[in-house]
């Protein structure tokens, strides 16, 4: 398989250069625009992002503490038919993820049945023994899920990764749309694009639907929701503030919170006030220094006891990380089938588990053609992309892999689809992925049409992560 | 609202107010230094600007002389100086980011844009030729943010904490400016009515943007007691001590109304305000202007501390 552009599936253009139906109306509009004007709009968009402060902090890069994620004005367009199939697949997968978590922390039927080896849980930090035997309010583990999809052909969408902990990026989905509508309002009168702007309202509703037993709803009051952020130095702080603001929720930090009379309370100017639902954007490790990381300055002492006694809802539930672990990922087809009784609608990317001797042998023999990832890594760090790596990089990685094979999985280098980006010279194809955002509540599963399209801005690059210089696009799902 | 958020809007407003006052002090120092022929008295002016901002010791630990360009660059853009305009605008903006969900978009955007603009403007050393423009931009940032607050914020707790921050800082700043220069207002047989006195008095008024207002109210005639009275007791002048305390009182009353009860800081403020109102300028001079100002500065710090404690700014 090749990472070269030109041999892969382009979502806008057919191999003969004609425009695919999904993009027909957009392309007609685009071709009619003055390119100088488009370039000026492009510059205007950057100023807009800076002014409202949509920035992203890159760790370990002091000089550019706050960066913009580059925004590309060419939308990524998905047809109604494609989206229907995707939503069925996503819903099935998210249902399975929640059932899987419920099972793992209770009877572990999937292990008893022999579909998942017990080794997948042993010595896995993402599996929280403190959650065993406990069911979160409403039975929901993953209130917010981001499913990372890649596309390799007209009908070939695959799941690259499940994000069941604290998926980020939804603020970019929303702001990208705002920006497009401000820059090119006439586009939205010509083309029927499904709206995304009510995501924060749906998120708030979904979180309130998971209020804990301690919430009584006296006098028609509504559950108090707060977004828990590590603070302004976190890379996604903008998003935390944005979502709190849009939901009308409080934005709290660990040192605003304290356990008072069996409830988690925030320090207000007039005293401590109980919170019902915490949408936490901190890792499990930083939740409760008494239960988890004793060195954490970010957590709230005793919050876990309150949680277990029904005093607060934590979204997503602690311990959901086990479901998006890359070692577990390779078992997702079995997991989906085990809990839904159906064949998976969305395929996994073929994955070799380096913990298994046969697989390791294959991976070592084919390193130059594979993508090798750390089981617990994220953000595009600590991975090897064989086809674009030097001999020395491959040799160095091989040493690490041999030293700790169970720490890695390998996948073929996929021929990811491309969508054009706008450049001075015109349109140029770049690889993309898609992260739809999924809300889970006792009332059901709610998928916002579209999601966040991340795009590799360098020619031929397959790495779309914003921490590695990727950009984003507005993602359109066309109405029926 | 969260105690931490109240702390954030309070300090955001304080930093912006202080940045603006620092710009005004630099403006005056620069003008005065221009009118002074010899180097020694120029140095004295810059030294007194540094004393007013409380940064003289820090400055002296880094520099050995008081060359104007060096002083105003230290005050404007030294990143290691927490009292530089750049540091303070950055702090104001950081606080605004912390409490972003409590601010309107207009307030956040003017603060953020002001910071971006000043950061660019102060990225390179400021020269005498562009100092004026830089100072105008600093004052404009403060003015724009205050305007956005005035024009777009609900008159609620967030607004009140912001205003309390502004006027605590302003009361403190006016008192300090007056205290550093109090000796120019003391009766001195030798200099009374000399042109040097007039320049000094005018400078003092300019430091608090009060020269035009004072002239207008007094038909151009200057006397030290009148100036002191104007800066301390004038209820119309928006940078006087009485005016600042009256604003703090009214915003604290807003908090008591919204929350349905008072906190100990209310009583503290009421006592201090009553004392200020009942004092005449004659009594102030009899008791000693310097002593009066020291007492006032101490009391303002005490009130600010009580507000922070009573409204749970931190744990």
In the prediction, which pLDDT does B80 show? 94
Q: Which candidate in A47, A53, A267 is best for mutational testing of the B interface (most B CBs within 10 A)?
A: A53
Q: Rounded distance, CA A2 to CA A150, Å?
A: 15
SS3 for A410? strand
Q: Considering only CA atoms, which of B108, B156, B150, B107 is closest in space to residue B1?
A: B156
Is pLDDT above 50 for B227?
A: yes
Smallest CA–CA separation between B69 and chain A, in Å?
27
End-to-end Cα spacing for chain B = 15
ipTM for this prediction = 0.85
B235-245: average pLDDT: 96
Q: Among partner residues B2, B101, B157, which is closest to A256 by beta-carbon distance?
A: B2
* Neighboring chain A residues of B252 at a CB cutoff of 8 Å: none
Neighbours of B196 (CB within 10 A): 10
Q: What is the number of CB-based contacts under 8 A between chain A and chain B?
A: 58
Q: Among partner residues A232, A251, A269, which is closest to B3 by beta-carbon distance?
A: A269
What pLDDT digit, counting tens, does each position of A109-122 carry? 999 999 999 988 88
- What pLDDT band is residue A6 in, cutting at 50, 70 and 90? low
> Secondary structure of B14-69 in the HEC alphabet?
HHHHHHHHHHHHHHHHHHHHHHCCCHHHHHHHHHHHHHHCCCHHHHHHHCCCCCHH
In the prediction, which pLDDT does A121 show? 86
Q: Which candidate in A227, A266, A269 is best for mutational testing of the B interface (most B CBs within 10 A)?
A: A269
* Neighboring chain A residues of B95 at a CB cutoff of 8 Å: none
Burial class (CB in 10 A: 0-12, 13-18, 19+), B84: buried
SS3 for A164? coil
pLDDT > 70 fraction of chain A, expressed in percent and rounded: 94
The 8-class DSSP code of residue A19 comes to B
Specify whether the CB–CB gap between A148 and A435 falls below 8 A: yes
Q: Check CB contact of A66 with chain B, cutoff 8 Å.
A: no
pTM (two decimals)? 0.88
A399-406: average pLDDT: 90
Smallest CA–CA separation between B298 and chain A, in Å?
24
Specify whether the CB–CB gap between B243 and B235 falls below 8 A: yes
Q: Rounded distance, CA A300 to CA B41, Å?
A: 57
What pLDDT digit, counting tens, does each position of A256-283 carry? 999 999 999 999 999 999 999 999 999 8
How far is CA A41 from its chain centroid? 29
Smallest CA–CA separation between A451 and chain B, in Å?
24
* Neighboring chain A residues of B1 at a CB cutoff of 8 Å: 268-269
Question: Which residue of A lies nearest to B158 if distances are taken between CA atoms?
Answer: A269
Specify whether the CB–CB gap between B266 and B252 falls below 8 A: yes
Smallest CA–CA separation between A57 and chain B, in Å?
13
In the prediction, which pLDDT does A189 show? 94
CB–CB contact A237 B315 (8 Å): no
Element at A280 (helix H, strand E)? strand A277-280
Sorted by sequence, the CB contacts under 8 Å of residue B140 that are 6+ apart come out as B114
Question: Which residue of A lies nearest to B103 if distances are taken between CA atoms?
Answer: A245
CB–CB contact B105 A52 (8 Å): yes
Q: Rounded distance, CA B75 to CA B81, Å?
A: 8
Q: Check CB contact of A266 with chain B, cutoff 8 Å.
A: yes
CA A7 vs CA A418, A460, B167: distances in Å: 10, 11, 66
> Which pair of structure tokens corresponds to residue A262?
């069996």
Q: Among partner residues A241, A256, A268, which is closest to B100 by beta-carbon distance?
A: A241
Specify whether the CB–CB gap between B104 and B152 falls below 8 A: yes
CB–CB contact A267 B2 (8 Å): yes
* Neighboring chain A residues of B161 at a CB cutoff of 8 Å: 269
Lowest mean pLDDT among A172-186, A311-325, B64-78, B210-224: B210-224
The 8-class DSSP code of residue A272 comes to E
Specify whether the CB–CB gap between B68 and B42 falls below 8 A: yes
Lowest mean pLDDT among A359-373, A398-412, B199-213, B290-304: B199-213
B145-152: average pLDDT: 96
B216-254 as b/e, with b when 16 or more CB fall inside 10 Å? eeeeeebebebbbbbbbbbeebebbbbbbbbbbbebbeb
CA A425 vs CA A34, A39, A418, A456, B171: distances in Å: 13, 11, 17, 17, 58
Strand partners, A284: none
CB–CB contact A241 B3 (8 Å): no
**B195-207 and B157-180 are packed helices; what angle lies between their axes, rounded to 10 degrees?**
160
Smallest CA–CA separation between B203 and chain A, in Å?
37
Burial class (CB in 10 A: 0-12, 13-18, 19+), A191: middle
Smallest CA–CA separation between A68 and chain B, in Å?
14
CA angle, residues B197, B202, B203, in degrees to nearest 5: 100
Smallest CA–CA separation between B177 and chain A, in Å?
32
What pLDDT digit, counting tens, does each position of A53-98 carry? 666 654 444 444 567 788 999 999 999 999 999 999 999 999 999 9
Element at A170 (helix H, strand E)? helix A170-183
In the prediction, which pLDDT does B198 show? 76
Phi, psi of B80 (to 5 degrees): -85, -5
Q: Among partner residues B98, B112, B312, which is closest to A269 by beta-carbon distance?
A: B312
């Amino acid at each position: 398989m090749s990472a070269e552009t030109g041999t892969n599936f382009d979502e806008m253009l057919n191999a003969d250069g004609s425009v695919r139906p999904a993009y027909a109306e957009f392309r007609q509009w685009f071709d009619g625009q003055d390119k100088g004007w488009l370039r000026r709009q492009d510059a205007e968009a950057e100023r807009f992002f800076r002014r409202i402060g949509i920035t992203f902090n890159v760790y370990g890069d002091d000089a550019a503490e706050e960066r913009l994620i580059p925004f590309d004005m060419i939308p990524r367009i998905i047809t109604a038919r494609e989206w229907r199939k995707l939503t069925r697949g996503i819903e099935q997968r998210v249902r399975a993820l929640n059932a899987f978590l419920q099972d793992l922390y209770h009877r572990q039927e999937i292990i008893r049945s022999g579909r998942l080896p017990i080794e997948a849980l042993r010595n896995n930090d993402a599996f929280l023994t403190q959650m065993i035997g406990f069911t979160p309010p409403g039975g929901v583990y993953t209130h917010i899920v981001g499913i990372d999809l890649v596309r390799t052909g007209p009908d070939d969408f695959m799941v690259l990764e499940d994000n069941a902990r604290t998926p980020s990026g939804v603020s970019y989905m929303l702001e990208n749309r705002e920006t497009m509508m401000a820059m090119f309002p006439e586009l939205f009168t010509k083309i029927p694009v499904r709206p995304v702007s009510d995501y924060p309202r749906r998120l708030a509703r979904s979180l309130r639907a998971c209020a804990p037993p301690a919430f009584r709803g006296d006098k028609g009051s509504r559950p108090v929701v707060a977004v828990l952020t590590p603070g302004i130095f976190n890379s996604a702080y903008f998003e935390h503030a944005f979502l709190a603001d849009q939901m009308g929720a409080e934005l709290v930090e660990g040192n605003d919170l304290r356990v008072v009379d069996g409830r988690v309370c925030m320090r207000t100017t007039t005293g401590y006030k109980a919170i019902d639902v915490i949408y936490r954007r901190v890792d499990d490790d930083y939740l409760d220094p008494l239960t988890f990381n004793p060195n954490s300055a970010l957590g709230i002492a005793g919050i876990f006891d309150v949680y277990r006694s029904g005093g607060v809802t934590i979204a997503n539930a602690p311990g959901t990380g086990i479901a998006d672990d890359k070692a577990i990922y390779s078992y997702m087809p079995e997991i989906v089938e085990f809990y839904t009784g159906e064949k998976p609608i969305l395929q996994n990317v073929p994955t070799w588990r380096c913990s298994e001797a046969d697989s390791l042998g294959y991976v070592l023999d084919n390193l130059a053609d594979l993508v090798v990832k750390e089981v617990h890594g994220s953000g595009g760090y600590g991975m090897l992309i064989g086809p674009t790596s030097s001999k020395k990089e491959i040799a160095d990685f091989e040493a690490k892999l041999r030293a700790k094979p169970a720490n890695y999985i390998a996948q073929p280098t996929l021929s990811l689809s491309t969508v054009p980006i706008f450049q001075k010279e015109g349109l140029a194809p770049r690889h993309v992925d898609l992260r739809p955002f999924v809300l889970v509540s006792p009332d059901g599963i709610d998928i916002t049409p579209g999601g966040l399209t991340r795009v590799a801005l360098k020619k031929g690059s397959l790495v779309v992560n914003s921490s590695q210089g990727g950009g984003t696009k507005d993602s359109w799902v066309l109405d029926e | 609202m969260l105690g931490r958020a109240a702390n954030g809007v309070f300090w955001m407003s304080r930093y912006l107010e202080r940045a603006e006052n620092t710009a005004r002090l630099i403006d005056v120092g620069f003008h005065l230094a221009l009118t002074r022929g010899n180097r020694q008295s120029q140095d004295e002016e810059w030294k007194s600007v540094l004393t007013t901002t409380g940064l003289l010791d820090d400055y002296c630990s880094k520099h050995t002389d008081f060359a104007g360009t060096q002083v105003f660059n230290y005050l404007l853009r030294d990143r290691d100086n927490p009292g530089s305009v750049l540091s303070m605008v950055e702090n104001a903006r950081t606080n605004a980011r912390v409490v972003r969900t409590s601010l309107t978009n207009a307030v956040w955007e003017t603060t953020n844009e002001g910071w971006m603009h000043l950061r660019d403007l102060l990225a390179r050393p400021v020269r005498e030729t562009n100092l004026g423009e830089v100072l105008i931009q600093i004052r404009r940032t403060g003015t724009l943010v205050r305007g956005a607050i005035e024009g777009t914020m609900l008159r609620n707790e967030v607004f009140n904490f912001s205003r309390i921050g502004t006027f605590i800082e302003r009361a403190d700043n006016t008192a300090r400016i007056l205290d550093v220069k109090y000796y120019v207002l003391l009766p001195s047989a030798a200099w009374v009515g000399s042109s040097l006195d007039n320049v000094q008095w005018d400078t003092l008024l300019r430091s608090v943007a009060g020269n035009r207002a004072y002239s207008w109210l007094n038909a151009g005639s200057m006397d030290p007691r009148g100036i002191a009275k104007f800066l301390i007791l004038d209820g119309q002048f928006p940078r006087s001590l009485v005016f600042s305390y009256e604003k703090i009182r009214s915003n604290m009353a807003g908090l008591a109304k919204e929350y349905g009860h008072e906190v100990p800081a209310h009583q503290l403020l009421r006592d201090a305000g009553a004392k200020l109102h009942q004092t005449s300028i004659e009594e102030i001079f009899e008791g000693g202007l310097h002593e009066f100002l020291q007492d006032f500065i101490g009391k303002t710090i005490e009130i600010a501390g009580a507000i922070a404690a009573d409204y749970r700014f931190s744990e």
